[in-house]
């Protein structure tokens, strides 16, 4: 397949929506639903979602560099930001879970056969609960890029997977955070399945000197925005 068959031209008409049947991402072919979605009554979108208390999280769960008897290899980073609704209001007490490859581009997962080393000091998973300002913070290492079988010479840009619970069930979001300036952006069908370049840019974190810790770790910031629920807008 040619490069142009992998990445389609930008199309701002998609807005924040990812193209579910994006042809360049081969696995969508048998998995993206083919029948139109049925629209639910608006009040469904106001129903409260699961509530996760502080007991859902252990003390060191937001530090992926701890708990393994030694320091992981790679570039230590701090990833922080805020969870907001589209009116700019903080979403407090929400569970955020992350997972990622190690610095060599290998996941601590039995299905991952990429011939890059595993790191005994890095499991690659963390979680936290957002604070009163909707803030979250993880300490981790910068993940490596890795090859995948989607097409000839396919490589994923470095990314961290995020799973986010909002206040309402229909605010649920699973996505991926990328790093600024990645040379693989132009070749990645998953990233480019978000067809609007402005929306795609929202998946890219920002290097941040203010959260960079001297002599210790680079800082990246990334805010996550979920749509408001009808009930909140009534208020």
Partner 1 sequence: MSLPTTPSQTVGPFFAIGICRRAAHELVRDGFPLCGRLLDGDGAPVPDGVVELWSATARTWGRCGTDRDGRFAFIVAKPPAAAGEAPRYDVLVFARGLLRHQLTRVYFPDEDEANAADPVLSSLDPATGATLVAAADGDGLRFDIRMQGDSQTVFFA
The residues of the shown chain that bind partner 1, judged by CB under 8 A, are 16-20, 22, 25-35, 37-41, 47-51, 84, 86-88, 97-99, 101, 107-109, 111-112, 123-125, 161, 163, 169-170, 172-176, 190-191, 193-194, 198-200, 202-203, 224-227
Is 68 marked active-site? no
Please provide the size of the chain in residues. 235
> Measured from the CB of residue 176, what is the shortest distance to partner 1 in angstroms?
4
Is 146 marked active-site? yes
| Cβ neighbours for 8, distance < 8 A, ≥ 6 positions apart | 22, 23, 24, 192, 195
Tokens read off for 82 = 């805020």
- Which three-class secondary structure state does DSSP give residue 171? helix
> Measured from the CB of residue 15, what is the shortest distance to partner 1 in angstroms?
8
Is 156 marked active-site? yes
Is 187 marked active-site? no
Q: Which is nearer to partner 1, 41 or 181 (CB)?
A: 41
Q: Which is nearer to partner 1, 63 or 97 (CB)?
A: 97
> Measured from the CB of residue 159, what is the shortest distance to partner 1 in angstroms?
8
- Which is catalytic among the residues 82, 127, 156, 167? 156
Strand partners, 77: 140, 218
- Which is catalytic among the residues 106, 127, 159, 200? 159
Is 22 marked active-site? no
Q: Which is nearer to partner 1, 150 or 212 (CB)?
A: 150
Strand partners, 176: 161
Residues 159, 167: Cα–Cα separation, whole Å:
25
| Cβ neighbours for 95, distance < 8 A, ≥ 6 positions apart | 52, 56, 57, 127, 128, 129, 164, 165
> Measured from the CB of residue 169, what is the shortest distance to partner 1 in angstroms?
6
Q: Are 140 and 61 in contact (CB under 8 A)?
A: no
Buried b (16+ CB within 10 A) or exposed e, 162-181: bebbbbbebbeeebbbbbee
- Which is catalytic among the residues 22, 25, 107, 220? 107
Catalytic residues: 107, 146, 156, 159, 161
């Amino acid at each position: 397949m040619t490069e142009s068959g992998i990445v389609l031209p930008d199309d701002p008409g998609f807005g924040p929506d990812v193209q579910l049947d994006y042809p360049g991402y081969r696995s969508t072919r048998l998995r993206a639903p083919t029948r139109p979605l049925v629209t639910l009554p608006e009040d469904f979108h106001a129903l409260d979602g699961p509530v996760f208390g502080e007991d859902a999280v252990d003390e060191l769960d937001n530090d992926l560099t701890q708990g393994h008897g030694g320091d992981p290899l790679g570039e230590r980073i701090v990833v922080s930001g805020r969870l907001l609704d589209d009116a700019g209001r903080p979403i407090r007490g929400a569970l955020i879970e992350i997972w990622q490859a190690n610095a060599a581009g290998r996941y601590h997962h039995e299905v991952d056969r990429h011939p890059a080393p595993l790191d005994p000091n890095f499991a690659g998973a963390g979680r936290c609960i957002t604070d009163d300002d909707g803030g979250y913070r993880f300490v981790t290492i910068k993940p490596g890029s890795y090859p995948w079988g989607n097409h000839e010479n396919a490589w994923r840009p470095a990314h961290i997977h995020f799973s986010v619970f909002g206040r309402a069930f229909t605010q649920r979001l699973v996505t991926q955070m990328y790093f600024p300036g990645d040379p693989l952006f132009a070749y990645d069908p998953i990233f480019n399945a978000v067809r609007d370049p402005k929306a795609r840019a929202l998946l890219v974190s920002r290097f941040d000197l203010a959260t960079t810790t001297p002599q210790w770790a680079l800082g990246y910031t990334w805010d996550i925005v979920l749509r408001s629920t009808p009930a909140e807008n009534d208020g």
